[in-house]
């Protein structure tokens, strides 16, 4: 492409324009929100200080109020990395694994409802038992953690950035403020979580053994598409000891459902 | 990836925005980063008649003072429109609404603008006064800043997270990769397969770059009719020469705009545009033929 070198001036001007737009916007916003930002910093610092002594009454595992652990306690490199499947190579991914893999037995769910056939390909239902069909937030059909008001897309208060109290964000864990945890920090048991996207809802089931995610499967699938394509992401839950975090450019909305479901299940396992 | 310290996801701008930060102590910065998504969405959405953008459409022929956010997005959109010969045109909002793209897909809420946009409007019907920071619409039209607004929000969020160096912002597949992954490698950006949902067709190594993809597989017309949410502003039809266009650029604002423009322009003109503008890209035809810029894999 060397022949286009002479027109790189155009390039740099458009790149520069985008950069200057960001700076202009950021500067304008920052002036307006700096006091709030400073306040947040102070609050965060204060919280960290007060979090140092151990709590007298630890939150029960099943509580949905969630400990909202500030994430700072984990040194990034101190966590022994779980085997990472590294989506690195510039080649097409494997085709999705066989649905049979998901149908393997899972210890029974402590939450009464026996999982419907976990076979993902057979699941698309015309009328899923959803309670909040066009929910703006990643609604969970379960009672689950409270929806933080600040997380509703259309209902975001007309305020500047950074004005919402940090506590709100830290406590409203339905939409997932999750500290990636060192493997071994979850409580053993089987947990479920719901996730939603515009294609529908799905429920994931996680089994924690020895503090680690030992098994993940899609227990219920009420998406418009067969869930089989999500299967490929499920092994990543175990590999990553958390939601799949392969970053995909392009429409990835559907995988959000799995992401939320895993986060919700893990919030129960803390 | 297990060493990513903070992960937080929130719905915003019609999708789910997820922020991953490798280093500890980023809570406040993440909070502010999400604030940008909400702030920019609020100003630039065409799905809320009270937004600054939709308020603008009610005033024809008069200069309307604009916020920095709206002014900068519109200014940039007009510039891209010019550079792409109109293949990208922010005045497509009316046409999109006319063919049924008037529903905020996550909430399901339908928003129909009260004005009747004229046929044949183009980006040349939008005028800016930089000194006074005003926007003038010379004809009734609806600006659609959806993709650009999301790109700008990603970039503003990236500014907030800069002190933490290593992070990823994922706004429903519009990505910005700061620094390196927890293992110290460049980040890996998977590219969606345009024909098999849930499958990747490629992956790119990136650092301090945005990666955005426009595809003909996204948000089809309600009811399953022909067409998708990307239109050729010059013909009004859904372009068909490319199945997807991925652009790697220093900002998401630019990557988003050019991915849309390239999808409209098709493989030859699209690649030429990317090359002329000095950004990298991967274009895929419906038959999955690849067209990519030379520097795409240089990292």
Which pLDDT tens digit goes with each residue over B263-281?
Answer: 999 999 999 999 999 999 9
Predicted pLDDT of residue A270: 74
For B237, the 3-state DSSP assignment is coil
Could you tell me how far CA A270 lies from the centroid of its own chain?
Answer: 15
Cross-chain Cβ contact A18/B294 below 8 Å:
no
| pLDDT above 70 for A267 | yes
Out of A1, A87, A133, whose CB is closest to B188? A87
Q: Which residue of A has its CA nearest to B218?
A: A251
CB < 8 Å to A17, chain B: 75-76, 79
Band the pLDDT of B285: cuts 50, 70, 90.
very high
Contacts of A190 (CB under 8 A, 6+ apart): A106, A107, A108, A109, A110, A205, A206, A207, A208
- Identify which of B242, B256, B151 has the alpha carbon closest to the alpha carbon of residue B195: B242
> What average pLDDT does the segment A211-240 reach?
69
- Return the higher-pLDDT residue of B30 and A251: B30
CB < 8 Å to A177, chain B: 8
| pLDDT above 80 for B83 | yes
Cross-chain Cβ contact B31/A162 below 8 Å:
yes
Å between B118 CA and nearest CA of chain A: 28
Q: A113 to each of A108, A109, A117, B67, how far by Cα in Å?
A: 9, 7, 12, 52
Cross-chain Cβ contact A21/B244 below 8 Å:
no
Q: What is the mean pLDDT of chain A?
A: 51
Report for A120-129, A186-195, A227-236: range of highest mean pLDDT = A186-195
Q: Sign of the CA dihedral A183, A187, A192, A195?
A: negative
Band the pLDDT of B121: cuts 50, 70, 90.
confident
A98 at interface of B, judged by CB pairs closer than 8 A: no
**Residue written as token pair 């997820």:** B18
> What average pLDDT does the segment B127-151 reach?
91
Q: Which residue of A has its CA nearest to B273?
A: A11
Predicted pLDDT of residue B94: 55
Could you tell me how far CA B234 lies from the centroid of its own chain?
Answer: 19
Q: Are the C-beta atoms of residues B265 and B281 closer than 8 Å to each other?
A: no
CB-based burial of residue B193 (10 Å sphere; 0-12 exposed, 13-18 middle, 19+ buried)?
buried
How far, in Å, CA of B135 to CA of B90, rounded? 13
Å between A246 CA and nearest CA of chain B: 7
CB < 8 Å to A163, chain B: 35
Predicted pLDDT of residue A44: 57
How far, in Å, CA of A187 to CA of A181, rounded? 12
Residues A109/A112/A114/A118 CA torsion (nearest 10 deg):
-50
| pLDDT above 70 for A36 | no
> What average pLDDT does the segment A77-98 reach?
34
Out of B173, B204, B278, whose CB is closest to A90? B204
Sheet holding B134-137, edge to edge: B64-65, B134-137, B126-129
Out of A11, A44, A72, whose CB is closest to B276? A11
pLDDT digits (tens, 9 = 90+) for A135-193: 333 333 333 333 333 333 333 333 333 333 322 322 332 223 333 344 456 788 888 88
Q: Which residue of B has its CA nearest to A246?
A: B190
Predicted pLDDT of residue A12: 57
A232 at interface of B, judged by CB pairs closer than 8 A: yes
Band the pLDDT of B4: cuts 50, 70, 90.
low
| pLDDT above 60 for A45 | yes
For B189, the 3-state DSSP assignment is strand
pLDDT digits (tens, 9 = 90+) for B152-204: 999 999 999 999 999 999 988 899 999 998 888 899 898 988 888 767 888 89
| pLDDT above 50 for B294 | yes
Band the pLDDT of A9: cuts 50, 70, 90.
very low
Cross-chain Cβ contact A245/B5 below 8 Å:
no
Out of A22, A75, A84, whose CB is closest to B156? A22
| pLDDT above 60 for A23 | yes
How far, in Å, CA of A134 to CA of B87, rounded? 34
Contacts of B244 (CB under 8 A, 6+ apart): A250, B191, B192, B194, B213, B214, B215, B216, B217, B263, B283, B284
How far, in Å, CA of B178 to CA of B164, rounded? 9
Residues 102-131 of A with CB under 8 A from B: none
Q: What is the mean pLDDT of chain B?
A: 84
How far, in Å, CA of A165 to CA of B28, rounded? 10
CB < 8 Å to A175, chain B: 9-11
């Amino acid at each position: 492409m060397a022949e286009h070198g002479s027109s790189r001036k155009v390039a740099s001007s458009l790149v520069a324009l985008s950069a200057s737009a960001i700076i202009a916007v950021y500067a304008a916003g920052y002036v307006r929100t700096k006091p709030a930002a400073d306040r947040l910093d102070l609050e965060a610092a204060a919280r960290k200080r007060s979090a140092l002594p151990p709590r007298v009454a630890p939150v029960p595992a099943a509580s949905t109020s969630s400990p909202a652990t500030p994430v700072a306690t984990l040194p990034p490199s101190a966590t022994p990395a779980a085997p990472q499947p590294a989506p690195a190579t510039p080649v097409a991914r494997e085709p999705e694994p066989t649905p049979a893999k998901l149908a393997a037995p899972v210890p029974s769910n402590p939450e009464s409802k026996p999982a419907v056939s976990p076979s993902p390909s057979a699941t698309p239902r015309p009328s899923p038992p959803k309670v909040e069909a066009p929910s703006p937030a990643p609604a969970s059909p379960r009672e689950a953690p409270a929806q933080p008001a600040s997380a509703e897309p259309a209902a975001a208060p007309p305020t500047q950035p950074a004005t919402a109290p940090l506590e709100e964000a830290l406590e409203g864990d339905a939409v997932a403020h999750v500290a990636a945890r060192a493997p071994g920090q979850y409580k053993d048991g089987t947990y479920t979580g719901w996730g939603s996207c515009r294609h529908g809802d799905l429920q994931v089931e996680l089994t924690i053994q020895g503090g680690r995610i030992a098994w993940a499967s899609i227990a219920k699938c009420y998406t418009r598409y067969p869930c089989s394509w999500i299967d490929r992401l499920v092994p990543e839950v175990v590999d990553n000891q958390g939601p799949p975090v392969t970053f995909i450019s392009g429409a990835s909305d559907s995988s959000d459902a799995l992401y939320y479901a895993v986060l919700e299940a893990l919030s129960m396992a803390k | 990836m297990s060493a990513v310290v903070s992960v937080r996801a929130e719905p915003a701008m019609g999708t789910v925005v997820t922020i991953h930060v490798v280093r500890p102590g980023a809570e406040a910065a993440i909070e502010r980063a999400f604030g940008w998504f909400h702030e920019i969405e609020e100003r630039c959405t065409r799905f809320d008649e009270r937004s600054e953008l939709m308020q603008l459409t009610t005033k024809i022929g008069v200069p309307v003072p604009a916020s920095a956010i709206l002014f900068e997005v519109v200014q940039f959109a007009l510039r891209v429109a010019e550079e792409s010969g109109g293949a990208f045109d922010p005045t497509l909002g009316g046409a999109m609404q006319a063919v049924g793209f008037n529903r905020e897909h996550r909430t399901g809420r339908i928003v129909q603008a009260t004005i009747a946009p004229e046929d044949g409007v183009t980006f040349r019907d939008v005028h800016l006064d930089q000194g006074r920071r005003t926007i003038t619409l010379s004809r009734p039209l609806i600006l659609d800043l959806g993709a650009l607004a999301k790109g700008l929000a990603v970039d503003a969020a990236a500014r907030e997270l800069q002190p933490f160096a290593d992070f990823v912002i994922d706004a429903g597949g519009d990505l910005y990769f700061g620094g390196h992954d927890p293992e110290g490698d460049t980040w890996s950006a998977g590219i969606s397969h345009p024909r098999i949902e849930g499958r990747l067709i490629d992956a790119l190594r990136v650092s301090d770059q945005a990666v955005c993809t426009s595809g003909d597989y996204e948000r089809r017309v309600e009811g399953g009719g022909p067409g998708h949410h990307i239109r050729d502003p010059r013909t009004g039809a859904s372009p068909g020469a490319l199945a997807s266009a991925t652009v790697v650029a220093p900002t998401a604002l630019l990557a988003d705009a050019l991915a849309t423009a390239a999808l409209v322009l098709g493989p030859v003109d699209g690649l030429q545009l990317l090359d002329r503008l000095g950004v990298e890209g991967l274009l895929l035809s419906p038959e999955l033929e690849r067209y990519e810029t030379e520097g795409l894999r240089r990292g």
